[in-house]
Amino acid sequence: MLQLGVAEPMRECEYSQISTRSSTPMETPYKKRTPKKRKWQAFPGRNKFYCNGRIMMARQTGVFYLTLVLILITSGLFFTFDCPFLSVQLTPAIPVIGGVLFVFVLGTLFRTSFSDPGVLPRATPDEAADLERQIDVANGSSSGYRPPPRTKEVVINGQTVKLKYCFTCKIFRPPRASHCSLCDNCVERFDHHCPWVGNCVGKRNYRFFYMFILSLSFLTIFIFAFVITHVILRSHRQGFLNALKDTPARYPFSQWCCVCFLSPLLPSPASPCLLLCMTAVPTGASVVPSLPSKLSRSHSLSILPPSISVLRSKQQDLSCVFREVDSRLGWRG
């Protein structure tokens, strides 16, 4: 009986040491899966990302913050010192119209600065190696021979177009695509890199950039005109010098300084740059004269195309992405 009593607790101790997680020999030990990185986390270009890849900007954002501060200061001084007087003496619609323009300007600025301008995905190492072999076979290159600048002829809308090869991204760029040296990306329908908005201007944000410079031109003229109106109305009652003292003088002049500083940066509707955009967008014409006319009939203010890079998705083989690009553009090699 004594031996039986000692054996019982020993048996219970053995049972407690048996793991209940693996009940069958076919089960494998649990391995913690490492989550795949998203594309923006391994993005090879020189860009900065915020909000889990939702916001994409260039690395040089100092001038963008300067633009934002100038807009906020100019509009803030106008709403603080001019709108109360003008809404009583003229009409309450002045601050309302100014507020709508101000909100629209900030919205288009943020949309231009924070969006993907149309970055083309780079080729994977396997795709780049396969493309190198195809180019060597096509050019008949031998050892020690460097082929000329690489091009590829495709047929678009019945016209033969030569596509240039990007040695950095290892892809053939579509028409009007170019490589930005600051962001180190190939951008579809690349227009220019604008430091004032802190981003490239391309296919996916050109419309917002156009609306930004147009609306800010209206806001600049609106503020400038009513600041002068404010001073003139006060000068009729008190004299010009007393009007400057009551305004007070330093605030309207600071507004004028900001307006004068912004005027070359953000052109008025009479400027040649904005006139060129206003004539090119409605007709669908291209500002790049080297392209054939039929290829230039693409409206910059049409429906916003989806992002080709899909930077918030997880990393995968990009061959399906390139097939999607080819089918969208109607290429035939």
**By C-alpha distance, which of 119, 129, 168, 173 is closest to 151?**
173
* 18 has a pLDDT exceeding 90: no
* 325 has a pLDDT exceeding 70: no
What percent of the chain has a predicted confidence (pLDDT) above 70? 53
* 197 has a pLDDT exceeding 50: yes
Q: Tell me the pLDDT band of 291, cut-offs 50, 70 and 90.
A: very low
What percent of the chain has a predicted confidence (pLDDT) above 90? 9
pLDDT of residue 267: 42
Q: Tell me the pLDDT band of 103, cut-offs 50, 70 and 90.
A: very high
pLDDT of residue 77: 86
pLDDT of residue 151: 75
Find where tokens 């080709």 sit.
308
pLDDT of residue 173: 85
Instruction: Read off the pLDDT of each residue in 28-34 and give the average, rounded to a whole number.
Output: 56
Distance CA 297, CA 22 (A): 65
* 127 has a pLDDT exceeding 70: yes
More confident residue, 97 or 332: 97
* 50 has a pLDDT exceeding 80: yes
Distance CA 70, CA 62 (A): 13
Full-prediction pTM beyond 0.85? no
What are 224-283's pLDDT values in tens digits?
888 888 888 877 776 766 666 666 444 555 555 555 555 544 444 334 455 556 665 555
* 105 has a pLDDT exceeding 50: yes
Beta strand residue intervals within the chain, DSSP E = 47-50, 55-58, 151-156, 159-166, 171-172, 178-180, 185-187, 192-194, 199-201
Q: Residue 159 forms beta bridges with which residues? A: 156
pLDDT of residue 145: 53
Distance CA 239, CA 236 (A): 6
Give me the catalytic one of 183, 194, 200, 277.
194
More confident residue, 266 or 204: 204
Find where tokens 């290429």 sit.
331
Min mean pLDDT across 4-8, 229-233, 303-307 is at 4-8
Per-domain residue ranges of the chain: 44-117+190-290
Instruction: Read off the pLDDT of each residue in 53-76 and give the average, rounded to a whole number.
Output: 88
288: its two tokens: 């790049």
* 303 has a pLDDT exceeding 70: no
pLDDT of residue 333: 46
More confident residue, 117 or 294: 117
Instruction: Read off the pLDDT of each residue in 113-133 and give the average, rounded to a whole number.
Output: 81
Instruction: Read off the pLDDT of each residue in 186-204 and give the average, rounded to a whole number.
Output: 88
* 87 has a pLDDT exceeding 60: yes
Distance CA 79, CA 94 (A): 10
Element housing 312 (H / E): none
pLDDT of residue 89: 86
Q: Tell me the pLDDT band of 312, cut-offs 50, 70 and 90.
A: very low
Q: Tell me the pLDDT band of 61, cut-offs 50, 70 and 90.
A: confident
pLDDT of residue 245: 64
194 is catalytic: yes
Distance CA 317, CA 220 (A): 48
The rounded mean pLDDT for the chain is: 71
By DSSP bridging, strand 178-180 and strand 55-58 are: unpaired
Instruction: Read off the pLDDT of each residue in 312-316 and give the average, rounded to a whole number.
Output: 49
